[in-house]
Amino acid sequence: MSQRRALVGIFVILAALFAVSTAEAEAEEKEYVLTLDHTNFSDTVAKHNFIVVEFYAPWCGHCKRLAPEYEKAASILSSHDPPITLAKVDASDEVNKELSTKYRVQGFPSIKILRDGGNKVQDYKGPREADGIVTYLKKQAGPASTEIKSREDAASLIDEKKIFVAGVFPKFSGVEFEKFITLAEKLRADYDFAHTLDAKHLPRGEPVDKPTLRLLKPFDELFADYQDFDVDAMEKFINEASTPKVTVFDKNPDNYPYIDKFFRSKFAKVLLFVNFSSELDAFKSKYDDIAALYKGKDIGFLLGDVQSSGGVFQYFKVNEDQAPLVLGQTNDGEKYLKPNVEPDHIATWVKDFKDGKLKPFLSSEPIPENNSERVKVVVTDSLEEMVFNSGKNVLLEFYAPWCGHCKQLAPILDEVAISLENDPNVMIAKLDATANDIPKGKFEVKGFPTLYFKSASGNLLQYEGNRTKEDIIDFIQKNRDKTIQSGSATSEEPSSREEL
């Protein structure tokens, strides 16, 4: 082979490779996810009976992880019959602000399913990987309720571990059936629906001779029937019937939806934590009986395993030593606690809680015996003595151990304390707000760090100035003993604060 021919050969091969790679690049560049903004959002949505929109922010990590999966799902769903369209809007862009407000975008990514040209909006509650997205959206794009014609249909549709709502009708028409379909369309993101002409296809319950809503559930009485076909009444029924008498909190993922629902509910809450390996028998049936007494009385019950409740304990600022423990929480967030509780004492405690006879409980770290650091440690139990009744001018930092801005502030506060060391009337202090409850009404702590100044005469101001030694000392000197600046506690948010 001559040199020249060999070169031509390589050229051809390279050209071919090049061609392939450009083709591939083009294929990759074709985006199936539509990019929308304020100029073309409404027109695009109006053209679709069903469209999915992701509101994202370019800096959001979850959005970046979702992007390739979302794109893959979009490419698969583009060949669905009819095609399902996926779109995205950069909700962090000022120009799209009106859209984010309209669609109540509160976090990123926020995915909405828009139906009927945008007239109906539903939250996307499905998985975040391509196959899961495809399956979920195919189902959401289909009819809200599926017909069950046989026991086999029922077996393939009904997940025994989940809530399932079936409508039993003598015929698939008439006002009851229509109301049922309306309900299914309204709640389709949260529950699975089906309709059937014969209750005997369903795994549980007796035959019925009039339109009946039958809710199948994996707990308590296992199914519940309802026959008032008013949409709101049915929704209320489903919501109540799908809430276990006692929500179980352990590591079993099947319980997660109920736990989620429990914590989201607006009811007062009672939570009992025991060690499931050693104490469950002693508590369970008594606790179930108590919960049964309060059924329908706007109070939710949870039974949690001490061994899997680390996060909850942190949230309520309690610890394992206090178990078995029963906690109460009212709608306004007040906390009640009985540590080391015995099975026979719970009923009385719950009654007192329900009757408002208990005193709210504030968690506190122990008062430190040795408070010799320059920045003094204040805990809930020493707040009165050290801050309000000390007769001193106190600068108090509310912090969280994990908060970066607090770590940056620590050496500055230390310097402030050094500078004012010889002034017996000034104290620089800090309170770990993740381990201590802050009494209601005095301080408003919405982010970390939050700084308050209490003058010797009792005036309370929030410090919102720059976090430099000079500015802080300035502020203390200006406001100590007496203060004139009544309007200083403005609601302006410093941008360098970490939100709770």
Ligand X SMILES: *[C@@H]1O[C@H](CO)[C@@H](O)[C@H](O)[C@H]1NC(C)=O
Given candidates 3, 106, 372, 495, which one binds ligand X under the rule CB under 6 A?
Answer: 372
| Measured distance CA(392)–CA(426) in Å, rounded | 6
Within 10 A of 240 (CB to CB), how many other CB atoms are there? Answer: 13
Given candidates 143, 257, 465, 494, which one binds ligand X under the rule CB under 6 A?
Answer: 465
Our CB check for ligand X shows the closer of 37 and 131 to be 37
Per the CB < 8 A criterion, the answer to whether 236 and 208 are in contact is no
Structure token digits, residue 27: 């294929």
Given candidates 227, 239, 275, 363, which one binds ligand X under the rule CB under 6 A?
Answer: 275
Catalytic residue among 63, 89, 114, 325: 63
Catalytic residue among 246, 350, 379, 406: 406
Burial of residue 357 (number of CB atoms within 10 Å: 0-12, 13-18, 19+): exposed
Binding status of residue 116 toward ligand X by CB under 6 A: no
| Measured distance CA(12)–CA(184) in Å, rounded | 61
Sequence-distant (6+) residues with CB within 8 A of 297 are 354
Our CB check for ligand X shows the closer of 320 and 421 to be 320
Nearest distance in Å: CB 196, ligand X: 42
Distances in Å between the Cα of 265 and the Cα atoms of 59, 187, 223, 243, 432 are: 32, 17, 22, 10, 29
Of 293-332, binders to ligand X (CB under 6 A) are 306-307, 320
Given candidates 35, 150, 340, 477, which one binds ligand X under the rule CB under 6 A?
Answer: 35
Given candidates 252, 466, 477, 496, which one binds ligand X under the rule CB under 6 A?
Answer: 466
Helices (H) and strands (E) counted in the chain, each on its own, are: 15, 22
Structure token digits, residue 483: 């203060």
> Is 117 known to be catalytic?
no
Nearest distance in Å: CB 86, ligand X: 12
Nearest distance in Å: CB 158, ligand X: 36
> Is 403 known to be catalytic?
yes
The CA-based dihedral angle spanning residues 23, 30, 28, 94, taken in that order and rounded to the nearest 10 degrees:
140
Query: Quick one: angle between helices 469-479 and 404-419, nearest 10?
Result: 60
> Which window, 45-53, 126-134, 161-169, 270-278, contacts ligand X (CB under 6 A)?
270-278
Sequence-distant (6+) residues with CB within 8 A of 424 are 392
Of 471-500, binders to ligand X (CB under 6 A) are 471
Within 10 A of 117 (CB to CB), how many other CB atoms are there? Answer: 14
Our CB check for ligand X shows the closer of 47 and 440 to be 47
Structure token digits, residue 55: 């509101």
Binding status of residue 36 toward ligand X by CB under 6 A: yes
Q: Which amino acid is at 251?
A: K
Catalytic residue among 134, 248, 312, 403: 403
Our CB check for ligand X shows the closer of 260 and 320 to be 320
| Measured distance CA(390)–CA(105) in Å, rounded | 46
- Tell me, residue by residue from 327 to 366, as one string, x for binding to ligand X by CB under 6 A and - for no binding: ----------------------------------------
> Is 60 known to be catalytic?
yes
Nearest distance in Å: CB 371, ligand X: 8
| Measured distance CA(258)–CA(434) in Å, rounded | 26
Binding status of residue 39 toward ligand X by CB under 6 A: yes
Nearest distance in Å: CB 166, ligand X: 40
Q: Which helix (H) or strand (E) holds 113?
A: strand 110-115
> Is 406 known to be catalytic?
yes
Per the CB < 8 A criterion, the answer to whether 203 and 216 are in contact is yes
Catalytic residue among 44, 60, 67, 460: 60
Looking at the annotation, which residues are catalytic?
A: 60, 63, 403, 406
Binding site for ligand X (CB under 6 A): 34-37, 39-40, 44, 275, 277-278, 306-307, 320, 370, 372, 465-466, 471
